[in-house]
Amino acid sequence: MKTIINLILAILSAHLAAAQTFSETIKKEFAIEKTGVENTILVANINGDIHVVGYEGSKVIVEVEKKITAKTQQRLEAGKKEIQFGTMNLADTLIFYMQGGCNVFGKQNWKARNFGTRNKWTYNWDGNHDCDTKYEYKLDFNIKVPQSVNVVLSTVNDGDISVENLNGTLKVENINGGIKLKNISREASAATINGNVDIEYAKNPTKACRFYTLNGEINAWFQKGLTANMAFKSFNGEFFSNVKSLESLPMELEKEPSQNGTKYKLTGNRFKVGNGGALLDFETFNGNVYLKEKSL
């Protein structure tokens, strides 16, 4: 047994010794040139976390932890050179993104269900099928922003997204990781494939919100006295709530054009909370939804 353990340790040590690693911390401050209600911070990551915190200052303070791992020093040097922290200043909007490797970032034609084709700041996923980086990379974003700004955040692998203490609107997308929104006050959209979506409102929203996860749970906390309309849809999940003033509404009939004419379908469960109001849309595939009001 001792021989086997020593052999395993030797293999692990050899593997770790073979891997070359580079890490650095990038710190920058930005000012929003044209201030107003449309001010937006957009962060587009691929591998890594995004953490955004609102504060009372006017500067946008960014700290990026960059990590490159490769099997040879030559490949490591290539990764250090190619993977960069990219920025764009659009006067009223600041964009931060992962630059380099096989990924080209810019304004792309993006097809969205029910919205047709429109321009969107994102990566060109269609043009890099034959590209292969010889190293692993990760960027972790930690950003302090003015509390009133709007945020648009996305990451793909090996990272979670969290937002805290913001009064602006939020649009958050993840693939392999969770989403946490805490002490928010405005309309929000949050969607992930593999992970939980946790939402905590400091002030109940007055406009439509949508929360989605394929493989995970949705945990939503609102202030006492919530008034809203609500939709819930799931394949394998259930809905739980401590809200007492919950009233079932008739299913809504949706219609979509098709080759054979107009297609009609009934949507999922719909409810009215209190006197009704903005639509809170919750959807999962494999996971429950927990909607709760905070105790006073």
* Of residues 240, 194, 238, the one with CA closest to residue 214: 194
pLDDT classification of 86: cutoffs 50, 70, 90: very high
pLDDT at 245: 82
Q: Which residue has the tokens 């739980």?
A: 240
CB 204 within 8 A of CB 222: yes
Per-residue model confidence (pLDDT) at position 170? 98
Q: Give the pLDDT confidence score for residue 124 in this predicted structure.
A: 73
Residue 113 has a pLDDT of 41
Per-residue pLDDT tens over the stretch 151-190: 999 999 999 999 999 999 999 999 999 999 999 999 999 9
Per-residue pLDDT for 118 more than 50? no
CA distance 281 to 172: 15
Q: Kindly tell me if the per-residue pLDDT of 6 is higher than 80.
A: no
> Is pLDDT of 253 > 70?
no
108, pLDDT greater than 80: no
Render the burial of 53-69: b for 16+ CB within 10 Å, e for the rest. Answer: bbeeeeebebebebbbb
The whole-number pLDDT of residue 296 equals 65
The pTM score is 0.86
Q: How far apart are CA 120 and CA 123, in angstroms?
A: 9
How far is residue 197's CA from residue 216's CA, in Å, rounded to a whole number?
A: 7
- Give dist(CA 207, CA 209) in Å, integer: 7
Predicted local confidence at residue 18, as pLDDT: 60
Residue 71, phi then psi, degrees to nearest 5:
-85, -20
Model confidence at 117: pLDDT above 60: no
Instruction: Taking residues 63-77, report their average pLDDT.
Output: 97
Distance between CA atoms of residues 231 and 279, nearest Å: 7
- Of the two residues 245 and 72, the one the predictor is more confident about is 72
Higher pLDDT, 156 or 254: 156
Summarize the confidence of residues 31-38 as an average pLDDT: 96
The pLDDT of residue 106: 81
Confidence of residue 69 (pLDDT cuts 50, 70, 90): very high
Q: Average the pLDDT over each of 32-46, 84-98, 214-228, 234-248 and give the range with the smallest value.
A: 234-248
Residue 116 has pLDDT above 50, yes or no: no
Percent of the chain with pLDDT over 90: 71
Highest mean predicted confidence (pLDDT) among 11-20, 123-132, 267-276: 267-276
pLDDT tens string 197-223 = 999 999 999 999 999 999 999 999 999
Q: Across all residues in the chain, what is the average pLDDT?
A: 88
Of residues 8 and 99, the one with the higher pLDDT is 99
Residue with the bigger pLDDT between 176 and 128: it is 176
